[in-house]
Amino acid sequence: MLAEEYPDAAVGFGGGFLQQVDVGPHSCDHGMIGPASSLLKYNNTRPAPFGLAPPSACRRKSKLPLYKTIVTILNQLLVKSHFLNFVAFSTFVLSTLATSVDAAIVAVGTSNANLDAYSSEILTNDLLTGLSPAVTGNMQFDTDGVYDGVYVSASSAPTGGNSYMNPYPIVMTFDLTGSVTGYDLTSITSIAGWNANRNIHASQNYTVSVSFIGDSAYIPLTLTGAFDVVSGGSIVYYPFTSAGSGASKVTITENSGGVIASGVDGIRFNFMVDSVFQEIDVLGVASAAAIPEPSAAALLLGFGATALVIMRRHRL
């Protein structure tokens, strides 16, 4: 477009700015657009803001129509500007971080023949405490034993304080409505154990899924870890091969100590073995408010307005 309007000038692109280089006697007073300072200079003496046309004597000869000027400026900004590419990339990253699942989620399992080995680690102030989950399946013993923040030893085979996932599968869904922005999840800990048949009842086999603010769908967390703890992205931990009493603990965290998922407003557990769970604790903090992502139309409107301002200032 510029080559057609300025036949005596060579147009190039350097450092992200348009350059008009004098190649002949009719180059409109040797006007040049695109020095390192991104200012327009006429004969290297009079600077003006980027995008203005050459001096009036030349402007009457070869000025672009208004719509072509706007299109030209938008083309340079949208296609060739490294700065705009950076802005678009940053906006994408910020909007993605607002509701996302980290890719490096690690599960670690430990076990102990002592049934009460993890009793002191049960929390009373995690995100699940005090909630009433939706339950699918016929869980036995105490439904809220999983999330009540209370440890009850299974040494005397109590039916209260522990949740028996039998018959499985059992699905528990917790609605995390305490924060309008959702939660940044930082860790998930599950503790199972029983006074007999630990090879079954102290085992852990489940998946974890989360939902995000504004989206009712649940997305499974893809977990990584040792082959005897994680399989197919799910917890599959059978630490005992013989009967007797025992307990196991699985801890799920982000590999670098960061956030497992952001903007979470729901968490779901799907239990696939008849374990007896003493507790599941979920830790996290309220997510920061998401940064609105500007639409493409808004960006184009802004650039168009800028072009009009530039043209108006030049005419004055």
Mean of the pLDDT values across residues 15-25?
42
Q: In Å, how far from its chain's centre is CA 146?
A: 28
Query: Which pLDDT band holds residue 42 (cuts at 50, 70, 90)?
Result: very low
Phi, psi of 203, deg, nearest 5: -85, 165
- Residue 147: what pLDDT? 86
- Residue 168: what pLDDT? 87
Query: Which pLDDT band holds residue 265 (cuts at 50, 70, 90)?
Result: very high
Is residue 109 pLDDT above 60, yes or no?
yes
* C-alpha neighbours within 13 Å on the C-beta side of residue 34: 17
- Residue 142: what pLDDT? 76
Q: What is the mean pLDDT of the chain?
A: 74
Mean pLDDT lowest among 56-65, 72-81, 173-182 = 56-65
- Residue 221: what pLDDT? 95
DSSP conformational letter for 99: S
The DSSP bridge partners found for residue 206 are: 235, 271
Mean pLDDT lowest among 81-90, 147-156, 175-184, 204-213 = 81-90
- Residue 302: what pLDDT? 60
What digits encode the pLDDT tens for the residues 231-246? Answer: 999 999 999 999 999 9
Query: Which pLDDT band holds residue 198 (cuts at 50, 70, 90)?
Result: very high
Asked if 78 contacts 70 with a C-beta cutoff of 8 angstroms, the reply is no
Query: Which pLDDT band holds residue 192 (cuts at 50, 70, 90)?
Result: very high
Report how far residue 94's alpha carbon sits from residue 110's, in angstroms, rounded to the nearest whole number: 36
Phi, psi of 225, deg, nearest 5: 160, -175
Between 49 and 306, where is the model more confident? 306
- Residue 311: what pLDDT? 55
**Residue ranges of domains in the chain, CATH in brackets:** 2-94 (no CATH), 101-286 (2.60.120.260)
- Residue 161: what pLDDT? 74
Mean of the pLDDT values across residues 185-204?
95
Q: Is the pTM of this model over 0.85?
A: no
- Residue 241: what pLDDT? 95
How many beta carbons lie within 10 A of that of residue 225, not counting itself?
A: 20
Asked if 153 contacts 308 with a C-beta cutoff of 8 angstroms, the reply is no
Angle at 186 between CA 184 and CA 192, to 5 degrees: 130
Is residue 99 pLDDT above 90, yes or no?
no
- Residue 93: what pLDDT? 40
What are the structure tokens assigned to 98, written together? 């607002």
- Could you tell me how many residues make up the chain? 316
Is residue 268 pLDDT above 90, yes or no?
yes
Mean pLDDT lowest among 9-18, 138-147, 213-222 = 9-18
Residue 111's region, left for phi above 0, alpha for psi from -120 to 50, else beta, is beta
Mean of the pLDDT values across residues 32-50?
42
